[in-house]
């Protein structure tokens, strides 16, 4: 029996990485991306130490880091009571003791280029999935999609929905996510990076009354996230950019000399924060990963990490199964079983943070972390432990010996 073809829908980090792993293992895979390029505003930029170490094992880490990026060595909170450094990545015992901040378009272009080295990989850009093919037993057997050349049907032994929080694949399969009640939205915009800006401000939160500012560094720019109460966009639009400029200048004084460059609300992009997941990530012939299965809020900046870990866990199960045909329900269920505990743990922490922020906002008090945190984080071991938790996530997956053989890797340890 020949290897079954996998169709991966969605060219985000999880989908593109899974396609790369399958192709490298010699399993035929087609990646469908509905846009004509990977360039989207305000997508996550954080590549954690787990990712960088895995890419080193795959032999592609150095090539990835040849692309422009910024190294973030700590995560800091600027509070009304002073600065709190919660995580310090330079304390980790790894050559990759930092978070690489790289515009996601560069990361995805790199992954797609690496995948294209393998004959088993094919990529279709501008492909909008319009339907799922199914057999007499109801199992998914492929997709129907439209591109610039018209309508197409693409049979597959497995369809993987990796098409994000608004997943078309998930909708077509009739799978509904359950929200856990995010209470914040974020307005994102960019300001230029200038000589003299703080060297260590690459991943910082500035906490104020009613709002906070999330700051993410990058080559030549700062991404600035301005928090709103959930559903607060209409009021923000009515008020215009001036309250945003005042808040940014007040909380981040060294940006005051350029906040005037935010001239219109059209320069902002809304990120409607969500924390949700589906009960079952799979149907016969169908698997969901990444945001299609579970939406991670921006808290901790680990959405990409969770998606890439989903992709590795999926490849670990799928590569041997695909060698002899379409994977069965037991294989797909095993992927969810491998990853769901970590996702539940991350989302539970994010829900707690959302509730704390909402409570402070309702009371009109500054958004501040617990007082004991300021004292605890003065201990280097505490900062290192927090950094390790964020750098690797709960129960980080590692390639099994069988997957290592298929990828031609040396098993760790």
Q: What pLDDT, in 10s, does the model give residues 181-219?
A: 788 899 999 999 999 999 888 899 999 888 999 999 988
What would the pLDDT profile of 92-127 be if each residue is shown by its tens digit?
999 999 999 999 999 999 999 999 999 999 999 999
Residue 119 near residue 58 (C-beta atoms within 8 A): no
Mean pLDDT of the chain: 92
CATH code assigned to 184-229+231-272: 3.30.9.10
Dihedral through CA 197, CA 199, CA 205, CA 209, nearest 10? Answer: -40
Residue 413's pLDDT band, with cuts at 50, 70 and 90, is low
Per DSSP bridges, beta strands 29-33 and 6-9 are: parallel
Q: Rounded to an integer, what distance in angstroms lies between the CA atom of residue 385 and that of residue 241?
A: 39
Q: Name the residue ranges covered by the structural domains of the chain.
A: 6-179+275-407, 184-229+231-272
Q: How far apart are CA 135 and CA 284, in angstroms?
A: 10
Rounded to whole angstroms, how far apart are CA atoms 296 and 277? 9
- Give the residue-averaged pLDDT of 144-164: 96
% of the chain surpassing 70 pLDDT = 97
The reported pLDDT for the residue numbered 101 is 93
How does residue 81 score in pLDDT terms, banded at 50, 70 and 90?
confident
Helix axes of 13-24 and 104-115: crossing angle, nearest 10 degrees? 20
* pLDDT, position 234: 95
Instruction: Find tokens 């057997």 and name the residue.
Output: 141
Let me know the angle formed at the C-alpha of 411 by 408 and 413, rounded to the nearest 5 degrees. Answer: 160
Q: Check pLDDT > 80 for residue 290.
A: yes
Question: Which of 25-34, 241-250, 344-353 is predicted with the least confidence, judged by mean pLDDT?
Answer: 344-353
Residue 245 scores a pLDDT above 50: yes
**Sign of the CA dihedral with 300 first, then 304, 309, and 314 last:** positive
- Tens digits of per-residue pLDDT, 350-362? 888 888 888 888 8
> Mean pLDDT across the stretch 237-243?
96
> What is the reported pLDDT for 3?
65
User: Is 3.50.50.60 the CATH number for 6-179+275-407?
Assistant: yes
| Angstrom distance (rounded) from CA 10 to CA 157 | 17
């Amino acid at each position: 029996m020949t290897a079954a073809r996998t169709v991966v829908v969605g060219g985000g980090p999880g989908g593109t990485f899974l396609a790369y792993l399958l192709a490298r293992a010699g399993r035929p895979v087609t990646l469908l991306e509905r846009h004509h390029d990977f360039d989207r505003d305000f997508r996550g930029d954080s590549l954690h130490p787990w990712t960088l170490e895995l890419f080193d094992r795959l032999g592609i880490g150095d090539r990835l880091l040849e692309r422009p990026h910024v190294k973030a060595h700590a995560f800091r909170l600027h509070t009304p009571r002073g600065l709190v450094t919660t995580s310090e990545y330079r304390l980790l015992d790894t050559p990759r003791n930092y978070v690489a901040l790289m515009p996601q378009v560069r990361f995805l272009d790199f992954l797609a280029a690496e995948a294209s080295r393998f004959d088993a990989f094919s990529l279709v850009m501008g492909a909008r999935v319009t339907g799922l093919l199914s057999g007499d037993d109801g199992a998914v057997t492929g997709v129907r999609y439209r591109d610039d050349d018209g309508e197409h049907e693409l049979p597959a032994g497995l369809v993987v929905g990796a098409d994000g929080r608004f997943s078309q694949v998930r909708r077509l399969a009739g799978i509904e996510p359950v929200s856990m009640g995010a209470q914040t939205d974020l307005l994102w915009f960019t300001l230029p990076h200038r000589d003299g800006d703080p060297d260590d401000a690459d991943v910082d939160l500035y906490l104020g009354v009613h709002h906070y500012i999330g700051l993410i560094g990058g080559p030549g720019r700062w991404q600035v996230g301005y928090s709103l109460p959930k559903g607060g966009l209409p009021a923000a639009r009515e008020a215009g950019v001036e309250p945003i400029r005042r808040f940014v200048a007040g909380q981040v004084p060294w940006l005051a000399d350029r906040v005037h460059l935010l001239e219109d609300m059209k320069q902002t992009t809304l990120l409607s924060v969500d924390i949700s997941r589906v009960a079952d990530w799979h149907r016969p012939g169908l698997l969901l990963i990444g945001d299609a299965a579970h939406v991670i809020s921006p808290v901790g900046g680990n959405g990409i990490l969770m998606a890439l870990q989903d992709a590795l866990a999926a490849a670990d199960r799928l590569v041997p199964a695909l060698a002899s045909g379409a994977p069965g329900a037991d294989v797909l269920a095993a992927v969810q079983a491998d990853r769901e505990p970590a996702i539940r743990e991350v989302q539970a922490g994010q829900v707690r943070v959302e509730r704390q922020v909402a409570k402070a906002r309702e009371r009109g008090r500054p958004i501040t972390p617990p007082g004991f945190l300021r004292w605890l984080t003065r201990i280097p071991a505490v900062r290192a432990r927090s950094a390790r938790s964020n750098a690797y996530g709960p129960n980080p997956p590692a390639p099994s010996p069988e997957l290592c053989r298929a990828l031609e890797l040396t098993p760790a340890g």
